[in-house]
Every structure is written in structure tokens, then in C-alpha cells.
Amino acid sequence: MQSFEARFDTITDQTRKAALGALHRVGLPDRRVEEWKYTGLRFLTETPFAAPAQTYDAAQVQAELDRLGVTHGPAEALPRLVFVNGLYSAEFSRKPASAEVSFFAQTKSFGVQACPDRDPLTALNTTLAQDGVTLSVPENGDAGHVLLISIGQADAPVSFHPRHAVALAEGAKLSLTCIQAGQGRYLHNPVLEVSVAARAELQHVTVQAESDDAASLATLYAQVDEHGSYNSFVLGLGAALARHEVHATLAASHAQVHVNGAQRLRARQHGDLTSVITHAAPDCISRQTVRNVLDGQSRGVFQGKVLVERIAQKTDGYQMNQALLLSEQAEIDAKPELEIYADDVKCSHGATVGALDEDQMFYLRSRGVPYAEARQILIHAFLEEALALIPDETARALCSHIMAQRFPVSGEEA
């Protein structure tokens, strides 16, 4: 298996060379970089990651898909695109009939939205990407619901850097659910570029349930045109170190962007939800609601910036972060930001932090509910309000299923 350095030495493509040059100039970010002041990357610098093998354990992949709930119930019949250690697996996949599918391994298409000069992890992805999928939905087409699944398998530390893209033509529709899971110690560093044309609608849910020994560092770029809608939700459950970073641009009037999410962390997990929503046109709407539940010595981070450019009059932007701390050692760092250059806008942001309601706990305990179960009931109720923001019923059910496996209501955590 090749190390990072050995893989760098084999690069000849000019786009990759430019990204590698940017990575060398800037380096991986540390806490002195404002956008990374709450999230360190020692996990990466202390681990000798290598390239993954081309083969995988099929029985283990099947078991993981069964555990995630995508091979039975309402998700069983859905088309799915499965990647194992960043490489497409035709064996476990079923392509959608109403969308064009192509693969990065053949096209080597990097897209136009990503910014390797600005974003070091995107530069790392651009340098080392091997595979990924592009989903294209034609004008006025409805591609239904598609699953994009990543499975990590690592007997020794490996890294993989898939490059994905979703392009909706005018009036097109798609519901996309991305599920990330795995076993072992690995780095999953995906980049996804989303393009939503006029009057198109994309519902996008990400369930991050990676191995507890993994790092999941995802970067997403989205551009939405006139009367287009991008409605996203991320549920963070796994990984020792996780960051989900969104750069969304409302590029034409009457566009809408929703960047909602929830995290439930325990032990020493670190979860970071970072977003930059740019209003670059008038009469646009953005919404962001994030809920966090933190236990043990876990640390949650929320950084949400709404940038309203001078042209973006009559912007309507809302942002809220709420955290439930279950332990005195748990920590939440919240940094909501508004940067407004227009003078006719309606924007607000806020943050709240609290503990479990003692009166509600007393009510449940007085009716014979054991302490651990009562605690889980209240936590689930707090997070279910966040999951209610997911419009797609099947995606919402998958989120609830995966979360319940990791945190059963019985109180016996998986």
C-alpha cells in the first residue's frame, strides 16, 4: 500500500498538480486558522494512512448493508450506488433508471465549484481522488430516491477521497440519501458538488455513521439557480473526528437553501458542522437549524455563516443552533455569523445550551420508567424534532433506524 507521500510522487495530471501545489503552500489547517480554531487535525498527522487495497470482504459489506437497513424495509427497492473504500462496487449496486450515471474513474471530471486553493481538504481530495459518481437528472425529470453508500474497511489505516457530483437540469427532481459507515481506522475525505438549475428540487440527507476509529471530513459545494431548492440534512453519529462543511450559494432570485442537521456524540468524539451560505441574488431564503446531543467528553462544533451580498436585497435568512449537554465534561462551541452588505433584509441567528429537563425526568421516573430508558426517551424526543425537518419519509426512517441501533431507547448503547 502506498503512503500519502508515495502517492503524491506519482501525480502527473495538471489539475492534481495544481491542487498538490496549493496543499504544499498552505498545508493542513491548524487551530490558528479561524475556520479551524475549534477542530484540530492531529488524527491525520499522527496516523500513517496508506492507499486501500482494490479488494474487499464481500460478506462484511453485505452485513454492513443489512445493519444499515438498506436491504430490507422501505429502502430495499431503492436504487443504490455503493462504494467500498472509495471505489465503486457494481456487485452491491443498482443504478437508477431515471438519472444518468457516470464515474470519476472514467471521466476524471473535477467540476467547477470546488476550491482547492482555498480549502485544503478539497485540495487533498483533488490530488488523490480515484473514483466517485456523477448523477445527472434531465430537464423536468424525476429520478425518485437514490442511495449513495460508502463503506470503509481497514485492517490497517487507509485513506480514500471520493469525488461525487449531482446535477439537476431545469425542473428536475431528486431525493438523495448518502450513508457513510465502516469498520477500522481510516480517513474518508469526500467532496460533493451540487448544481440545482432553475425550478429544480434536490432533497439531500447525509447519515454519518462511520467507524468510531475513523475520520470523516466531508466538503460539499452547492449552487442553486432561480426558483431552485436545495433541502439538506446531515445526521452525525460516528467517527472519532468528523467535519461536515457546506458552501452553498443562492445564485439567482427566489432560490431556497436549507442546511439542517443534528449530532449525537459520546465518549471522546469530535463533531464539527460548518457552513457558509452566500446570498448572491435578491429575494432568496435560507434556513439552518442544528441540534446537538453531547455525552461523555465529546465535543460539538457549530460554525454557521450567512453572507448577504449587496445585490441580495429582500434576503430572508434564519439560523439556530441548540445543544443538549449530558455530561459536565461535554462541550459545545457555537459561532453563528451574519455578514450583511444589503440594507433590506430579514436575518436572525441564535444559540441555546441546556441539560435534560429534571421535571420531565421526574415525571417519567414517577411512572416506573427506569432511569436509563427515561433519559433516552427525552434525548430521542429532542432529536426527533430535528429529524422532522427531513421531508422524505424513507430517508427519515433510515435516520431513525441507524440512530436507534447506536442508541437504543432501552438505554443499552450499541
- DSSP H stretches of helix in 108-240: 120-128
pLDDT at 211: 97
- Categorize the per-residue pLDDT at 46 as very low, low, confident or very high, splitting at 50, 70 and 90: confident
Q: How many domains, the chain?
A: 2
372, part of any domain: yes
- Assess whether 212 and 67 both reside in one domain: yes
Bridging pattern class, strands 163-168 and 158-160? unpaired
282, part of any domain: no
> Do residues 253 and 282 lie in contact, with contact meaning Cβ atoms separated by under 8 Å?
yes
Separation CA 347–CA 139 (nearest Å): 33
Report pLDDT digits (tens) over 336-382: 999 999 999 999 999 999 999 999 999 999 999 999 899 999 999 99
298, part of any domain: no
- Assess whether 369 and 231 both reside in one domain: no
> Do residues 216 and 245 lie in contact, with contact meaning Cβ atoms separated by under 8 Å?
no
Last residue of a domain, one of 204, 237, 252: 252
* Lookup: cell for 357: 429537563
Last residue of a domain, one of 252, 278, 311: 252
Q: Specify the DSSP class assigned to residue 51.
A: P
397, part of any domain: yes
Separation CA 73–CA 216 (nearest Å): 27
Mean pLDDT of 6-22: 76
| Nearest Cα residue to 19 out of 8, 6, 10 | 8
pLDDT at 4: 59
Last residue of a domain, one of 209, 230, 252: 252
- Assess whether 248 and 368 both reside in one domain: no
Separation CA 193–CA 130 (nearest Å): 16
- Assess whether 248 and 371 both reside in one domain: no
The residues near 90 (Cβ < 8 Å, ≥ 6 apart) are none
pLDDT at 186: 97
Please determine, for residue 9, whether its predicted confidence score (pLDDT) is greater than 80. Answer: no
- Assess whether 49 and 163 both reside in one domain: yes
- Categorize the per-residue pLDDT at 331 as very low, low, confident or very high, splitting at 50, 70 and 90: very high
| Nearest Cα residue to 312 out of 338, 350, 275, 349 | 338
Q: Specify the DSSP class assigned to residue 104.
A: H
pLDDT at 1: 44
* Lookup: cell for 183: 469498520
Q: What global pTM score does this model have?
A: 0.94
3-state SS, residue 362: helix
Within its chain, how far is the Cα of 180 from the centroid? 9
Report pLDDT digits (tens) over 168-202: 999 999 999 999 999 999 999 999 999 999 999 99
Q: Report the chain's mean pLDDT, rounded to a whole number.
A: 94
pLDDT at 253: 98
Please determine, for residue 41, whether its predicted confidence score (pLDDT) is greater than 90. Answer: yes
- Domain extent at residue 224: 4-252
- Assess whether 248 and 381 both reside in one domain: no
Within its chain, how far is the Cα of 119 from the centroid? 16
User: Does an H or E element contain 240, and which?
Assistant: none
318, part of any domain: no
Which residue has 431513525 as its cell numbers? 400
In terms of phi and psi (left: phi > 0; alpha: psi -120 to 50; beta: otherwise), the region of 132 is left
225, part of any domain: yes
Separation CA 177–CA 203 (nearest Å): 8
- Categorize the per-residue pLDDT at 5 as very low, low, confident or very high, splitting at 50, 70 and 90: low
194, part of any domain: yes
Which residue has 460539499 as its cell numbers? 220
